[in-house]
Amino acid sequence: MFKGNFDIDLSFWKIRSVPLIGIDISSSAVKMVELSKTGETHRVERYAIESLPKEAVLDGNINNFDVVSECVGRAWKKLGTRNKNVAMALPAAAVITKKIVVPAGQSEEDLGFLVETEANQYIPFALDEVNLDFQVIGPAPANPDEVEVLIAASRKEKVEDRVATAEASGLTAIVMDVEPYASQTAFELIQRQLPNGGRDRTITLVDIGASLMSINVLRNGQSVYMRDQPFGGNQLTYDIQHFYNLTLDEAEMAKRKGGLPDNYETEILRPFRENLALEVSRALQFFFTSTPFNEVDHIVLAGGCATIQGLDDTVSSRTQVSTSIANPFAGMELSNRINPRQLATEAPMLMIACGLSLRGFDPT
């Protein structure tokens, strides 16, 4: 890590071994998860979801600082915890990542120099304008005398905006991650639930949020493909709005709370599920045409849209791939504050926040 490039004492991946509250700031809500760990057993202590008004966060950017910071404060109070150390994440679009191969066995200082040299080639900003970090992934596949290193860089203001929303509520940002990698950390818990622990299987993690569908294809713990597509739950809100002649706010409330007429399932929800499944199928075709892979073994659905009843069956039917709904908490103990049924329902929305909280237990 280049401490000279940081105005604040945090990084993308370096770990401080302290319990962390994971905070996921999406376009629709602030989500928080606090975990504890005894031995090898994780426990869900608390979680909270606090809705955000539309356009408070746009394209991953904090558009209304006061509204977002107040929402962060409300979510933290809802948790009812004394812990003020948090892990946060930037959207993938705000971070430039590049995988490089360098000679193995170097000191961190020498590795840092190499990373900075490489970063100058790939980052279209002066290095004093960015937060820059790197992580050694492991041995290079083609040469055991080399290692793969992942570089991550983001404009400082992107990092500082998120940190400031935490600080406005008296919280301390300890770690800054990248959303797909945080989700991938939580996915490791889900992978254990798959046949043979998911080893030697190509698994597609599909996170469907309000406005964006993010695809992350994983094999043996490594990401082999990422792609974002502009499709999400907002489309369902617009369909409800237009079909029933409601305001946008009324449509959003009806989508969340229910109470729509009996024809909602056939006229609105079923076509939306089919369209979403088609988007997943298209994303897989992009994957097949741009990589050496020609099949996937399993699809895991996450994000707010993954809570739509029957979506896993629709996606499986369209893609002809086994599909399940993400629940990283399935093997965890639950505190008596947690409603198990409610957590199981909301688990797909909490992947990023869960992965961020897990960072507090990472020994590396």
Instruction: Summarize pLDDT for 89-147 with one digit per residue, the tens.
Output: 999 989 988 888 888 888 888 888 888 888 888 888 888 888 888 888 888 888 888 88
136-144: Cβ within 8 A, 24+ apart:
136/111, 137/99, 137/222, 139/104, 140/101, 143/101, 144/104
Distance CA(347)–CA(24), nearest Å, equals 13
63 by Cβ neighbours in 10 Å (0-12 / 13-18 / 19+) ranks as: middle
* Predicted pLDDT at 5: 35
Residue 7 banded pLDDT, cuts 50, 70, 90:
very low
* Predicted pLDDT at 261: 93
Q: Which helix (H) or strand (E) holds 284?
A: helix 270-290
- Beta-sheet strand order (sheet of 21-25): 172-178, 85-90, 21-25, 29-38, 41-51, 333-334
- Least reliable range by pLDDT among 13-17, 54-58, 147-151, 323-327: 13-17
Q: Which helix (H) or strand (E) holds 41?
A: strand 41-51
* Predicted pLDDT at 149: 87
Residue 17 banded pLDDT, cuts 50, 70, 90:
low
Q: Tokens at residue 165, please?
A: 């929303």
Distance CA(22)–CA(32), nearest Å, equals 5
* Predicted pLDDT at 118: 80
Domains annotated on the chain, with CATH: 3-193+330-361 (3.30.420.40), 194-329 (3.30.420.40)
pLDDT single digits (tens) 69-80: 999 999 999 999
User: What percentage of the chain has pLDDT greater than the value 90?
Assistant: 68
Residue 40 banded pLDDT, cuts 50, 70, 90:
confident
Residue 12 banded pLDDT, cuts 50, 70, 90:
low
Beta bridge partners of residue 151, listed in sequence order: 98, 134
Q: Which residue has the tokens 């590049």?
A: 98
The rounded mean pLDDT for the chain is: 90
Q: Which is more confident, 301 or 2?
A: 301
Q: Which residue has the tokens 């908490």?
A: 329
* Predicted pLDDT at 6: 33
The predicted model scores a pTM of 0.90
Above 80 in pLDDT, residue 233?
Answer: yes
* Predicted pLDDT at 323: 97
Give the distance between the most distant pair of CA atoms in the chain: 65
Closest CA to 8 of 173, 119, 152: 173
What mean pLDDT is predicted for residues 26-31?
Answer: 94
What mean pLDDT is predicted for residues 22-49?
Answer: 95
* Predicted pLDDT at 206: 97
How many CA atoms, within 13 angstroms, populate the side-chain half-sphere of residue 351?
32
Identity of the amino acid at 239: D
* Predicted pLDDT at 54: 86
pLDDT single digits (tens) 186-224: 999 999 888 888 999 999 999 999 989 999 999 998 899
Distance CA(149)–CA(172), nearest Å, equals 28
Q: Are 46 and 80 in contact (CB under 8 A)?
A: yes
Distance CA(342)–CA(94), nearest Å, equals 32
Closest CA to 105 of 151, 142, 149: 149
Above 80 in pLDDT, residue 13?
Answer: no
Q: Which is more confident, 47 or 309?
A: 47
Q: Which of 11-15, 28-32, 121-125, 247-251 has the highest mean pLDDT?
A: 28-32
Query: How far from each other are the two terminal CA atoms of the chain, in whole angstroms?
Result: 14
Distance CA(262)–CA(276), nearest Å, equals 21
What mean pLDDT is predicted for residues 10-24?
Answer: 71
